[in-house]
Structure 1
Amino acid sequence: MPPGGGGPMKDCEYSQISTHSSSPMESPHKKKKIAARRKWEVFPGRNKFFCNGRIMMARQTGVFYLTLILILVTSGLFFAFDCRYLAEKITPAIPVVGGILFFFVMGTLLRTSFSDPGVLPRATPDEAADLERQIDIANGTSSGGYRPPPRTKEVVINGQTVKLKYCFTCKIFRPPRASHCSLCDNCVEQFDHHCPWVGNCVGKRNYRFFYMFILSLSFLTVFIFAFVITHVIHRSQQKGFLDALKDSPASVLEAVICFFSVWSIIGLSGFHTYLISSNQTTNEDIKGSWSNKRGKENYNPYSYGNIFTNCCVALCGPISPSLIDRRGYVQPDTPQPAAPSNGITMYGATQSQSDMPLAFSASKELRPPECATRS
């Protein structure tokens, strides 16, 4: 080989070795590709994400689109066929008030549907294995094939004993008021219910928006129904009832939709008003968690004892940050933490059963932070 030609050949051979060999020289390139994946792309729950993880919904969204269609069609017909006549004959404030109600309804609906309801992060494999080992030791069992019965912990909140259940899917002890949604396959903090009409779970982080949605929808439905009837009566006084219906056939469709939906919407609003005033969730009310039938001393430890305070906490209190970093990057070589490292403590995923103080981040929502555990 001539001296002048050895350099390029060696460079070429070195580049081939560095790009085709299985040595660690190629790992930074692959790691860079893997690290570019967002956490929402590998999220274990049954959810759909849009806008690069900014929007989070359940997978079953068909009923949600039906909700959108009903609201948009009914409101659109009202603004197109009724508001112009009502503004001219009665007052121009009618379309203004209707527009404000419509945009408020749509805003709260989308805020409820597109947000994280309070999903609790699952334990990492290392944390789950450590917790399983600690539970086996606490139950006096070895790591054999015997599986202990469903695991629970007891905590005392404001003098009331509350049981924490172990989630075999998420591998964590669920905090108080949390439950696992079978449709979304997630543990949700302060779980209320899964609502197909909004296409999402309703929990700690979006309950106030859900309540404001159904309450404002009640006002909008009553508003449209009342002024559609006013429109028809006003026209019938001039031309007769049948001629009035012929002049505005859309009013008939609006009246029918509003009439059959207003009762369920108002009833739902009243039910959730009762829940907010007593600081309960739908899940707790259905199960009768704080019913007096369970015991003489059974009471709701989360209630502040005052309807006004309960409503203020539910509707005006601070919104807790999301515990799942949907838009964060996946780190392939580092186990993913069960909660973001911003001072929020994971609920009992790596703490033993005997000395687990359960440093609740949820205790901020309780009146006195008196929380003790019983092994």
Structure 2
Amino acid sequence: MSEPNVHEGRHQSQVDGERKVPLQEPSTPPDWWRNCLYWLVTFEAREARKSNYSSMPKVVNYNFFLGGRLRVVSGTERPSLFVLVALLAPMVLYSIFEAQALWRLGRGHAVLVVLFYYFWALCLVSFIKTATSDPGVLPRNVHVPIVGGKFELPRSYYNIITLPSAHPEGKTVDVKYCTTCRIWRPPRASHCSTCEACVLTHDHHCTWVNNCIGQRNYRYFLTFLASCCLATTLCIVGCAIKVARATRLDKVAVAILLIIYCALGLCYPLLLLVYHMFLTSTQQTTREYLKHVPSKTAIRQALSAPEVNPFDKRDRIKNMVSLICQKRGISVMSARESHSAGDWRFVNLPQPHSFEKV
């Protein structure tokens, strides 16, 4: 008789021992915890929930936070994080190395410190409001035609409709149908392919704030640019005063670094602010300006207003006030509201192909 295999016996005993131990199923978090996380960060839609922020990710390219109170565009490179760091870095250096020394100088120098922090805080708040607020997103599927019992787009929906305006000279406005959102867009509204939504008084999609600039956040955008320029200028002035009073340059190395940093960082927002001041004075949005100005002659044409503009009030100050201080209006696609089951605004219809059925 052959001797029993010792190794097989040990292996069999181990297997038998393992079988005796019941397998534990991975524990799932409770519903209240999952709902809390979903309220904090909403990346995808949920059919069971009837809040707008839980259904909007099906039709628009947004992620929502805090129950729809904040939003960011999803699927982008998020250079807005770089802008946020660029805003925080000089404030930290200024607070550690410059603010206290400038405050102790007296003779009104403390006012520079107070004003810097005020405009820097205004800049940060305006940046967050611009990047996370509703720019004026329009609801989808408001004008869905039914031709012959099927979803078809009549040929007339591919035309641009000309309507009269309130302009005293009888100028007209154009209205166009959006085949993606299935709505007749109001005048000055346009579709953003990045956000996948039509936006009221759409100016442009700003990569640096990762959001569209439209009717409901345009004033925040301009406030961000203006306060950024003012805070940067105050930082340069404060650091320059310290450098002028210094006896040795090695003691003001951070001040010199801040002067160079702020001088370089001031160029782009200042040019952008001047550019938008020109646009508002001629009652134009960025899209309207680029649409009517050839790209090869954009710089040469920059100081002229369009010949036909039904929104022009013939006064630069009135144009600026009416465009910058226009009413934000209600959020027609509020993420914090709720909807009933089967709401067509949250149905993602396929893109029509020419004049074919969809």
Q: Given the two structures, how large is their TM-score scaled by the length of structure 2?
A: 0.72
Residues 244-277 of structure 1: CA deviation (Å, up to 9, x unaligned): 3x32432233222212121212111111111112
Q: Is 1:257 paired with 2:261?
A: yes
- Name which of 117, 120, 124 aligns with 2:135: 117
- Name which of 183, 191, 195 aligns with 1:180: 191
Match of 1:14 in 2: none
Do 1:194 and 1:201's aligned partners in 2 also have CA atoms closer than 8 Å? yes
Match of 1:42 in 2: 55
- Name which of 94, 104, 125 aligns with 1:88: 104
Distance change (3 Å), C-alpha of 1:77 and 1:334:
closer
Match of 1:218 in 2: 229
Q: Residues of 2 paired with 1:289 and 1:133: CA distance?
A: 37
Distance change (3 Å), C-alpha of 1:337 and 1:313:
farther
Q: In the TM superposition, what is the alpha-carbon distance from 1:323 to its structure 2 partner?
A: 0.8
Match of 1:276 in 2: 280
Match of 2:159 in 1: 151
Q: Residues of 2 paired with 1:206 and 1:179: CA distance?
A: 15
Distance change (3 Å), C-alpha of 1:190 and 1:200:
same
SS in 1 for 2:176: strand
Q: Residues of 2 paired with 1:37 and 1:173: CA distance?
A: 26
- Structure 2 residue identity aligned to 1:260: L
SS in 1 for 2:188: coil
Do 1:34 and 1:332's aligned partners in 2 also have CA atoms closer than 8 Å? no
Match of 1:170 in 2: 181
Q: Residues of 1 paired with 2:195 and 2:343: CA distance?
A: 26
SS in 1 for 2:146: helix
Moved over 4 A (4+): 131-135, 333-338
Q: In the TM superposition, what is the alpha-carbon distance from 1:171 to its structure 2 partner?
A: 1.0
Match of 1:130 in 2: 146
- Structure 1 residue identity aligned to 2:60: G
SS in 2 for 1:52: coil
Distance change (3 Å), C-alpha of 1:83 and 1:333:
closer
Q: Is 1:97 paired with 2:115?
A: yes
Taking every aligned residue pair, what percent have the same amino acid on both sides?
27
- Name which of 312, 323, 332 aligns with 2:321: 312
Q: Larger RCO: Structure 1 or Structure 2 (Cα < 8 Å, ≥ 6 residues apart)?
A: 1
Q: In the TM superposition, what is the alpha-carbon distance from 1:331 to its structure 2 partner?
A: 1.6
SS in 2 for 1:130: coil
Match of 2:9 in 1: none
Runs of 5+ in structure 2 lacking a partner? 1-45, 348-358
Distance change (3 Å), C-alpha of 1:194 and 1:326:
same
Q: Residues of 1 paired with 2:81 and 2:317: CA distance?
A: 35
Alignment of 1:1-375 (within 5 A): 36-43=49-56, 44-59=59-74, 60=76, 62-90=78-106, 91-123=109-141, 127-130=143-146, 136=154, 150-157=158-165, 158=167, 159-235=170-246, 239-240=247-248, 244=249, 246-288=250-292, 298-333=307-342, 335-336=344-345
- Structure 1 residue identity aligned to 2:160: T
Runs of 5+ in structure 1 lacking a partner? 1-32, 140-147, 339-375
Q: In the TM superposition, what is the alpha-carbon distance from 1:135 to its structure 2 partner?
A: 5.3
SS in 1 for 2:311: coil
Q: Residues of 1 paired with 2:320 and 2:308: CA distance?
A: 18
Q: In the TM superposition, what is the alpha-carbon distance from 1:175 to its structure 2 partner?
A: 1.6
Q: Residues of 1 paired with 2:342 and 2:174: CA distance?
A: 36
CA-based RMSD of the aligned residues comes to 2.8
SS in 2 for 1:180: strand
- Structure 2 residue identity aligned to 1:128: V
- Structure 2 residue identity aligned to 1:95: V
Q: In the TM superposition, what is the alpha-carbon distance from 1:37 to its structure 2 partner?
A: 3.3
Match of 2:353 in 1: none
- Aligned length, in residue pairs: 284
Residues 99-121 of structure 1: CA deviation (Å, up to 9, x unaligned): 11111111211111121001111
Q: Residues of 2 paired with 1:216 and 1:50: CA distance?
A: 26
Q: Residues of 2 paired with 1:336 and 1:184: CA distance?
A: 16
